[in-house]
Chains A and B, each alone.
Chain A
Amino acid sequence: MSNYRIQGATGEWEVVIGLEVHAQVTSKAKLFSGASTAFGAEPNTQVSLVDAAMPGMLPVPNRECIRQAVRTGMAIEAQINKWSRFDRKNYFYADLPQGYQISQLYHPLVGEGQLVIEADEKAGIPEDKVIRIERIHVEQDAGKLMHDQHPTMSYVDLNRTGVALMEIVSRPDMTSPAEAGAYIRKLRSILRYVGSCDGNMEEGSMRADVNVSVRKVGDTELGTRTETKNVNSVRFVMQAIEHEVQRQIDVIEDGGQIVQETRLFDPGTGTTRSMRSKEDAHDYRYFPDPDLLPLELDDAFLDDCRASLPELPDAKRARYENELGLTPYNARELTAEVETFARFETLLAATAAGIGKPEKDVATAVANWSLSVAPGVVKALGDEADMANATAEAQAAILDMQAKGEISGGQAKEIYEIVLKTGRDPNEIADTEGLKQVSDTGAIETAIDAIIAANGDKVEEYRGGKDKLFGFFVGQTMKAMQGKANPAVVNQILKDKLG
């Protein structure tokens, strides 16, 4: 339970939040037509006669869209309905050519599921929390209206019309903006792991309808909720909630009533306002689409969907901690984004192979390299860094040399810097640039003998029990070796000679 409370004039308020996330399904063609779903095309160039709702046009569903929705359902441990059906949601708007949206009300494809948002003390999420998901249904996206192109007209672009969406409906289980943010981030991560949605919120691939209500702490009745439509970033969702919560509290405390309504979020001001175009009371007249038959899925189809599921975020995180021995922090960081764990796992495999050790023995080194060392070097280089040179092979070679003690951590950074700038081979750099540690005991012994000879008094003090002088000898030796001596070897020889 989050401790998010708002102190109002009349007492403490708590918040109830439910999210309806519209996620664009990753598919080449639209849900019911063959037109392309590619983003950013010229207006109305990806519109079929079906999408334009020409007289006599009919819908035929795209298998891939159904498959991706089912895989997504499986990824949130949801019940998959082998018998589902498409319904028509009837309303008039310029972005809706048919005059109805083909959606699923009565028999959605995916039923009850859930996901877990991780504890985050700073954000006021004391422990891991399960957010229940009521359903996922498949439906058509609408077109796009442009209001700023003409003084008296709005322009209509139907390229997006008919693109497949998953509407992922949560239970009202979130009680703070932070939980809502965490929910969307977690959901996005799952969708991207599964590959059913690219999660690109800037391009509108993920939009949230935010349902918010407030109630006095202790009340059991839910307050009247408002729905703020199409909020397209995690930050905006949290802003919209904060604003809506304060607005509702103010209204109620001023003796007013919350009207159940659709609202619009203004990213500019971070505020919400009533949506004029959706004013008239909703009566969508849902009924089964008579152009389509019930959607019946067989076991073979479901088995194929299940078999194609990748390792999911929670499982991967657990494995990183338990099998690779990574810290919870590193495990979380590395599994947050698909790109991150992909890069990590490639580098881990290459490094382990190079050194000839099991992955768990090198995982921590590779994790530190991936999360702090390598990014640090890149950051320092700025524009000079050519990321094309940041290959797994090169990085593995560096980690390999470091593990074998041939180079120091500092040298590793220096070498990687050159690699990023020039793309040269790390081993070749280590040799020609003299970026290698000396582990040749002969050279080190000679240096140490000289230092012992030159510092008889300190040797006596040390042997007399002044242990901390050991550091002095190490320093002197490294100095004599221009910092290129292998610290391990230096320590060993010093211990032997100083006795």
Chain B
Amino acid sequence: MTDFTQLGVKAIRDGVAGGDFTAREVAEVFNGAVEAAAELNAFIVATPDHALAAADKVDAARAAGAELGPMAGVPIGMKDLFATNGVQTTAASHMLEGFVPPYESTVSQKLWDAGAGMLGKLNLDQFAMGSSNETSYFGPVKSPWKAEGSNATLTSGGSSGGSSAAVAARLCPAATGTDTGGSIRQPCAITGTTGIKPTYGRCSRWGIVAFASSLDQAGPMSRSVEDCAIMLGAMAGFDPKDSTSLDAPVPDWAGALNADLKGKKIGIPREYRMDGMDEEILASWQAGKEWLRDAGAEIVDVSLPHTKYALPAYYIVAPAEASSNLARYDGVRYGLRDLPEGAGLQDMYAATRADGFGDEVKRRIIIGTYVLSAGFYDAYYTQAMKVRTLVQQDFHKAFAECDAILAPTTPTPAFPLEEMNSDPLAMYLNDVFAVPASLAGLPAMSVPATLTAKGLPLGLQVIGKPMDEQQVLDVGLAIEQRAGFTAQPEKWW
């Protein structure tokens, strides 16, 4: 009989719909896989009952001949940044440990309505701030991957590191992620998984614990372009509760997938070729160009002149917004309260926030508070928002000459835990290729390309025009079909 853990979203959905197996059988197998993988620390809490209940509903609906949703019978992992009604939602922080929302995020609700079930809440970098999952209050996620000839524990990336690890380790066919400055794409790239960050505003932010409001976007993480297209279709859509939500119809991305790129132009941004760049990254980028040429596309050089300023601009804008978004964690209405003997209100705030936030969160709140403070606002924040305009204009000009952009997703493959967490700045540089698209609000995805000599996955990034997820997915599919990436981590957990 089939090993359900090897099946993706579409295979499970179609198998359930076709009666080859029941949703409950699938849910039980994945519940087992999650339970057996505690070693990876990918989940903060498992919710087997949620998965079973959703599966039973689907099986019952099918028995009754009712129409099944696009995710019917598919158990998924939910990044613990999405508020889930009645299920602890922590953002991987001590601050929100034990917080049980009386509400459901729009995106997770849409997935349940589409027939999906929840295997558990996935680990992440605290408040989605980090690129290695090491800032989680609940401990780092361990990547299922290991480099050949080494037993070092590797990072699964961040901030959606629980999601990437769980999908790569076949603990779930797909998971939700959020991407503020690469938090879907970077973890996908270094775990051999596939994920897309849609155009800013495609997925409602309502009910997602906010990091940086003008950058946060939810997206799917899975093991194929088609599965991402299916799941994104279920997640996206206008939400009147989010003022930045795009009031636009959701196309049938999965139905329109087309890997034939004849007549399409793919831009190669010359500024992404940085000195001292990893040879294997360059090689995978080169391979990507050939695959796309083979798919019928014309490869053209494009220029994104302000690329080198994107990351520093991001590290002003994101912390500034975060410093304000995280002000609500004050120990009054929910979450941690630390009230020292005889402390007043303001002392309570300071103690609670000192205790409830981890070092990286504090670091970013301090940076954000500093760049917004009197006398520095224009020099830092206003200048950063102007640079952001320039970065967006760069893309706009580039897209006059091409239909999509191909670039590496990350500057390196997965690195061992603790290797970088002593140097915040070095850690930030992981997102150097991911951040520009985030600043411009553009759809961008990461697709597995190759393995390094040491057997570690590398991903390629496809960046598209605003609202043109279809083009991004089509290019991604063309790469997927030619990369033939089938490698899986060897089970050691």
Q: A: which residues have CB within 8 A of B?
A: 49, 52-61, 88, 90, 92-94, 97-100, 154, 156, 283, 285-287, 290-293
Give every chain B residue within 8 A of A99 (Cβ-Cβ).
324, 326-328, 330
Give every chain A residue within 8 A of B321 (Cβ-Cβ).
290
Contact B377 A291 (CB under 8 A): no
| Most chain B CB neighbours (cut-off 10 Å) among A53, A54, A98 | A54
Contact B327 A58 (CB under 8 A): no
Q: Which of B101, B205, B374 contacts A54 (CB 8 A)?
A: B101
Closest to A99 in B: B327
Contact A100 B327 (CB under 8 A): yes
Give every chain B residue within 8 A of A291 (Cβ-Cβ).
210, 213, 243-244
Q: Which of B212, B327, B373, B374 contacts A98 (CB 8 A)?
A: B327
Closest to A94 in B: B345
Q: Does B240 contact A (CB under 8 A)?
A: yes
Contact flag A283-B83 (CB < 8 Å), given A57-B206, A92-B327, A290-B321: no
Contact A98 B328 (CB under 8 A): yes
Task: Tell me, in angstroms, the Cα distance from A61 to B89 when the chains sit together.
Answer: 27
Contact A56 B205 (CB under 8 A): yes
Give every chain B residue within 8 A of A286 (Cβ-Cβ).
372, 377
Give every chain B residue within 8 A of A287 (Cβ-Cβ).
320, 324, 372, 377, 381
Give every chain A residue within 8 A of B345 (Cβ-Cβ).
93-94, 154
Q: Which of B91, B102, B241, B381 contacts A58 (CB 8 A)?
A: B241
Q: Does B214 contact A (CB under 8 A)?
A: yes
Residues 297-329 of B, flagged 1 when their CB comes within 8 A of A and 0 if not, give 000000000000000000000001101101110
Give every chain A residue within 8 A of B327 (Cβ-Cβ).
90, 92, 98-100
Q: Which of A59, A92, A154 contacts B349 (CB 8 A)?
A: A92
- CB B110 to nearest CB in A, in angstroms, measures 15
Contact A53 B328 (CB under 8 A): yes
Q: Which of A58, A94, A283, A293 contacts B332 (CB 8 A)?
A: A94
Q: Which of A94, A97, A285 contacts B369 (CB 8 A)?
A: A285
Closest to B83 in A: A56
- CB A277 to nearest CB in B, in angstroms, measures 8
Contact A58 B324 (CB under 8 A): no
- CB A290 to nearest CB in B, in angstroms, measures 4
Contact flag A293-B243 (CB < 8 Å), given A55-B83, A56-B210: yes
Q: Does B2 contact A (CB under 8 A)?
A: no
Q: Does B228 contact A (CB under 8 A)?
A: no
Q: Does B485 contact A (CB under 8 A)?
A: no
- Apart from the given pairs A285-B324, A285-B377, 9 other A-B contacts in the complex at a CB distance below 8 Å: A55-B96, A56-B205, A57-B206, A60-B242, A92-B346, A99-B330, A156-B332, A287-B320, A290-B212
SS class, residues of chain A in contact with chain B: loop
Give every chain A residue within 8 A of B323 (Cβ-Cβ).
90, 285
Contact B372 A90 (CB under 8 A): yes
Closest to A49 in B: B103
Task: Tell me, in angstroms, the Cα distance from A92 to B101 when the chains sit together.
Answer: 23
Q: Which of B209, B244, B320, B381 contacts A56 (CB 8 A)?
A: B209
Give every chain B residue within 8 A of A97 (Cβ-Cβ).
328, 332-333
Interface residues of B in 213-260 (CB under 8 A from A): 213-214, 240-244
SS class, residues of chain B in contact with chain A: loop
- CB A216 to nearest CB in B, in angstroms, measures 31
Task: Tell me, in angstroms, the Cα distance from A94 to B330 when the chains sit together.
Answer: 9
Give every chain A residue within 8 A of B369 (Cβ-Cβ).
285
Q: Does B207 contact A (CB under 8 A)?
A: yes
Interface residues of B in 320-355 (CB under 8 A from A): 320-321, 323-324, 326-328, 330, 332-334, 345-346, 349
Q: Which of A52, A92, A285 contacts B372 (CB 8 A)?
A: A285
Contact B320 A54 (CB under 8 A): no
Contact A55 B101 (CB under 8 A): yes
Task: Tell me, in angstroms, the Cα distance from A92 to B324 when the chains sit together.
Answer: 10
Going nearest first, the 9 A-B pairs with the smallest beta carbon separation are A99-B327, A285-B372, A290-B213, A290-B214, A56-B207, A53-B328, A55-B209, A283-B374, A291-B213
Task: Tell me, in angstroms, the Cα distance from A98 to B333 when the chains sit together.
Answer: 10
Task: Tell me, in angstroms, the Cα distance from A100 to B322 when the chains sit together.
Answer: 12
- CB B378 to nearest CB in A, in angstroms, measures 11
Contact flag A55-B205 (CB < 8 Å), given A99-B324, A99-B330, A287-B381: no
Contact B243 A100 (CB under 8 A): no
Contact B243 A58 (CB under 8 A): yes
Contact B333 A53 (CB under 8 A): yes
Contact A283 B205 (CB under 8 A): no
Task: Tell me, in angstroms, the Cα distance from A346 to B210 when the chains sit together.
Answer: 56
- CB A473 to nearest CB in B, in angstroms, measures 84
Q: Does B208 contact A (CB under 8 A)?
A: yes
- CB B201 to nearest CB in A, in angstroms, measures 10
Task: Tell me, in angstroms, the Cα distance from A49 to B332 when the chains sit together.
Answer: 14
Give every chain A residue within 8 A of B212 (Cβ-Cβ).
290
Contact A90 B324 (CB under 8 A): yes
Q: Does B99 contact A (CB under 8 A)?
A: yes
Q: Does B105 contact A (CB under 8 A)?
A: yes
- CB A349 to nearest CB in B, in angstroms, measures 45
Task: Tell me, in angstroms, the Cα distance from A90 to B349 when the chains sit together.
Answer: 14
Give every chain B residue within 8 A of A61 (Cβ-Cβ).
243
- CB A136 to nearest CB in B, in angstroms, measures 22
- CB A29 to nearest CB in B, in angstroms, measures 14
Contact flag A55-B91 (CB < 8 Å), given A94-B332, A100-B327: yes
Task: Tell me, in angstroms, the Cα distance from A154 to B344 when the chains sit together.
Answer: 11
- CB B450 to nearest CB in A, in angstroms, measures 38
Closest to B344 in A: A277
Contact flag A283-B373 (CB < 8 Å), given A54-B101, A55-B91, A60-B241: yes
Residues 30-73 of B, flagged 1 when their CB comes within 8 A of A and 0 if not, give 00000000000000000000000000000000000000000000
